[in-house]
């Protein structure tokens, strides 16, 4: 870099936040509210990271990455007054709709009597079994909700039964309570989201519980939509931070975290600009963060943890602009939105189907018959699409970053999208002709667009060895460098908690903030 391009900025910032994902925004907002001067540097031209609403096509507002909300911590919502800055979440109801190839289907909602009717059509025994499963899942979620409040979740506080459930498989958890294949599979999908493991694999019990750990909708484990898409969360957070005095720079890629004598003291951008501050807080995932340091500045303990860090993305997001509603053979109708159109539509007929989807990807490169989770927010928020049109987001597995059949290319992207559409079209035959535009985000695209290392949606697997006390702590082994992204405790999803814990760690080390 020429000296002319090198511009050293020592503007008196107390902290620099690398990345404006929602967690970076939470950290920045809390620090700014506490009177610190904070600069946020974001490589993209939009704020929010994977919690973002983007105009992918004119007239359409797409939650391009995350699409539903549950874990956003109520404390963050109230302390940062997010509702006054436009944040509004509403419950998804029904919760799920799972059509079957034989024309039957299962809808689960918050209406216990309806659930009894729906489940009873498959198995009388499962009516009580489902209620017992829900109680146990909510209990496990509640254990995590409490544990997540601690900066480094205190595993001894987690009871033995919960620990055993976390270590076990999602299949074991659901099979203990219910016997109907479609019900088992629908419930087990929470244990597989973003995770390169099948329902019978150890540790997926934790992933399931993690998806019950939220109270954003006021009910343990309930999920909902955010009005205006997930970007409304990030917009509200950015507003809270801005009003508290925080500065932002977008299209600003940090290429180096500057370290001297084992202490971080600033960052350098790709254009050569350097900013100094006594505290650098990274919202990037752990691999990306530590790749911004000279290898010799990364302590051996951190290097060892990174070497074992599992972070291979396996999820593909397909966003579809539809000219009409999908017309499901199991519940016909496309003229007006029916309850099942508001639900998560699962393609998950049985645990064996899901396990095979995973196993195929390991050996063949991708699932032959994928697991799908499909969401339509437009029936409850028509502002997201032109009048009469609908947005369908499909989260599909398993399409791993590293394919056994060779690297991703345009042909493989198109093949994956075509397979996903054909898979859903088995249940809603009008789908292919309803598609007006599509956006395919395979793991390498998630990496390129959102900066997610190897396309992992949670900055690293949420499996034992990488959860609770084994996640990266906010405090790194390098003085003045904190982590505030989903790779840090307590992990992925739109919770804001890694950002909150990093802000607390920064304030606990207040002696160092603003000391130069």
Ligand X SMILES: Cc1cc2nc3c(=O)[nH]c(=O)nc-3n(C[C@H](O)[C@H](O)[C@H](O)COP(=O)(O)OP(=O)(O)OC[C@H]3O[C@@H](n4cnc5c(N)ncnc54)[C@H](O)[C@@H]3O)c2cc1C
CA distance 437 to 420: 15
Q: Is 184 in the site for ligand X (CB under 6 A)?
A: no
Q: Is 49 in the site for ligand X (CB under 6 A)?
A: yes
Q: CB of residue 386 vs ligand X: minimum separation in angstroms?
A: 24
Q: CB of residue 427 vs ligand X: minimum separation in angstroms?
A: 22
Q: Is 391 in the site for ligand X (CB under 6 A)?
A: no
Question: At CA 300, angle to CA 309 and CA 297, rounded to 5?
Answer: 105
Buried b (16+ CB within 10 A) or exposed e, 124-151: eebbebbeebbebbbbbbbbbbebbeeb
Segment lying near ligand X (by CB under 6 A), choices 30-38, 283-291, 332-340, 357-365: 283-291
Q: Is 209 in the site for ligand X (CB under 6 A)?
A: no
Q: CB of residue 237 vs ligand X: minimum separation in angstroms?
A: 10
Q: Which two tokens stand for residue 254?
A: 């940090």
Q: CB of residue 60 vs ligand X: minimum separation in angstroms?
A: 17
Q: Which is nearer to ligand X, 26 or 178 (by Cβ)? A: 26
Taking CB under 6 A as the criterion, the residue among 15, 20, 197, 281 binding ligand X is 20
Q: Which is nearer to ligand X, 172 or 222 (by Cβ)? A: 222
Segment lying near ligand X (by CB under 6 A), choices 63-71, 157-165, 201-209, 326-334: 63-71
CA distance 201 to 170: 8
Q: Which of 514, 489, 408 is nearest to 155 (CA)?
A: 489
CA distance 267 to 401: 29
Q: Which is nearer to ligand X, 330 or 493 (by Cβ)? A: 493
CB of 168 within 8 A of CB of 243? no
Restricted to residues 156-175, the positions that interact with ligand X (CB under 6 A) are none
Taking CB under 6 A as the criterion, the residue among 173, 492, 501, 502 binding ligand X is 492
Q: Which is nearer to ligand X, 199 or 492 (by Cβ)? A: 492
Strands of the sheet containing 263-269, edge to edge, are 7-9, 273-276, 263-269, 254-260
CB of 395 within 8 A of CB of 315? yes
Q: What does the DSSP 8-state code read for residue 473?
A: P
Nearest-Å Rg of the Cα atoms of the chain is 22
Taking CB under 6 A as the criterion, the residue among 27, 320, 385, 452 binding ligand X is 452
Taking CB under 6 A as the criterion, the residue among 13, 19, 137, 277 binding ligand X is 19
Q: CB of residue 17 vs ligand X: minimum separation in angstroms?
A: 9
Q: Which residue has the tokens 């393609």?
A: 347
Q: Is 438 in the site for ligand X (CB under 6 A)?
A: no
Restricted to residues 296-325, the positions that interact with ligand X (CB under 6 A) are 315, 317
Q: Helical H runs in 278-350?
A: 286-291, 300-307, 339-342
Q: CB of residue 389 vs ligand X: minimum separation in angstroms?
A: 22
Q: Is 41 in the site for ligand X (CB under 6 A)?
A: yes
Segment lying near ligand X (by CB under 6 A), choices 14-22, 129-137, 332-340, 469-477: 14-22
Size of the site for ligand X (CB under 6 A): 38
CA distance 499 to 504: 9
Q: Which of 501, 513, 515, 475 is nearest to 35 (CA)?
A: 513
CB of 220 within 8 A of CB of 38? no
Q: Is 67 in the site for ligand X (CB under 6 A)?
A: yes
E strand residue ranges, 151-253: 224-226, 247-249
Binding mask 221-260 for ligand X (x = CB under 6 A): --------------------------------xx------
Chain residues that interact with ligand X, rule: CB under 6 A: 18-24, 41-44, 49-51, 65-68, 71, 253-254, 283-284, 288, 315, 317, 446, 450-452, 457-458, 485-486, 492-494, 498
């Amino acid at each position: 870099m020429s000296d002319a391009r090198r511009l050293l900025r020592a503007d008196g910032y107390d902290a620099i936040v690398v990345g404006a994902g929602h967690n970076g925004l939470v950290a920045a907002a809390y620090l700014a509210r506490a009177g610190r001067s904070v600069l946020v540097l974001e490589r993209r031209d939009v704020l929010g990271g994977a919690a973002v609403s983007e105009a992918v096509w004119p007239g359409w507002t797409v939650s391009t990455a995350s699409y539903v909300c549950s874990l956003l911590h109520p404390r963050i919502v109230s302390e940062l007054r997010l509702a006054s800055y436009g944040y509004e979440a509403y419950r998804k109801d029904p919760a799920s709709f799972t059509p079957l190839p034989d024309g039957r289907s299962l809808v689960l909602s918050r209406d216990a009597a309806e659930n009894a009717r729906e489940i009873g059509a498959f198995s009388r025994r499962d009516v009580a079994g489902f209620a017992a499963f829900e109680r146990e899942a909510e209990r496990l979620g509640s254990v995590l909700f409490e544990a997540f409040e601690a900066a480094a979740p205190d595993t001894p506080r987690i009871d033995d039964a919960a620990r055993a459930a976390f270590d076990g498989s999602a299949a074991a958890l659901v099979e203990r309570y219910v016997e109907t294949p479609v019900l088992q599979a629908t419930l087990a999908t929470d244990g597989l989201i973003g995770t390169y493991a099948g329902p019978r694999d150890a540790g997926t019990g934790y992933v399931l519980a993690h998806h019950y750990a939220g109270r954003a909708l006021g009910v343990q484990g309930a999920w909902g939509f955010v009005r205006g898409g997930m970007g409304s969360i990030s917009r509200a957070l950015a507003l809270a931070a801005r009003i508290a005095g925080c500065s932002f720079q977008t299209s600003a890629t940090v290429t180096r975290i500057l370290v001297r004598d084992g202490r971080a003291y600033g960052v350098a951008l790709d254009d050569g600009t350097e900013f100094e501050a006594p505290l650098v807080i990274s919202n990037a995932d752990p691999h990306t963060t530590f790749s911004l340091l000279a290898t010799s500045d990364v302590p051996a303990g951190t290097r060892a943890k990174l070497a074992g860090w599992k972070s291979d993305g396996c999820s593909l997001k397909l966003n579809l602009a539809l000219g009409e509603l999908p017309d499901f053979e199991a519940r016909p109708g496309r003229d007006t939105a029916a309850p099942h159109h508001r639900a998560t539509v699962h393609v998950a007929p049985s645990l064996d189907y899901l396990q095979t989807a995973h196993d195929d990807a390991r050996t063949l490169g991708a699932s032959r018959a994928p697991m799908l989770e499909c969401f339509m927010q437009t029936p409850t928020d028509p502002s997201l699409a032109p009048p009469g049109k609908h947005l369908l987001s499909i989260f599909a597995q398993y399409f791993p970053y590293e394919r056994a059949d060779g690297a991703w290319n345009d042909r493989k992207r198109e093949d994956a999208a075509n397979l996903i559409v054909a898979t859903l079209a088995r249940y809603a035959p009008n789908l292919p002709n309803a598609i007006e535009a599509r956006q395919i985000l395979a793991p390498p695209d998630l990496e390129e667009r959102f900066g997610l290392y190897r396309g992992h949606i949670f900055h690293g697997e949420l499996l034992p060895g990488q959860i609770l006390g084994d996640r990266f702590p906010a405090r790194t082994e390098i003085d003045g460098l904190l982590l505030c992204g989903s790779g840090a405790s307590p992990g992925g999803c739109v919770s804001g908690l890694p950002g909150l814990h990093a802000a607390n760690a920064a304030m606990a080390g207040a002696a160092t903030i603003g000391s130069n």
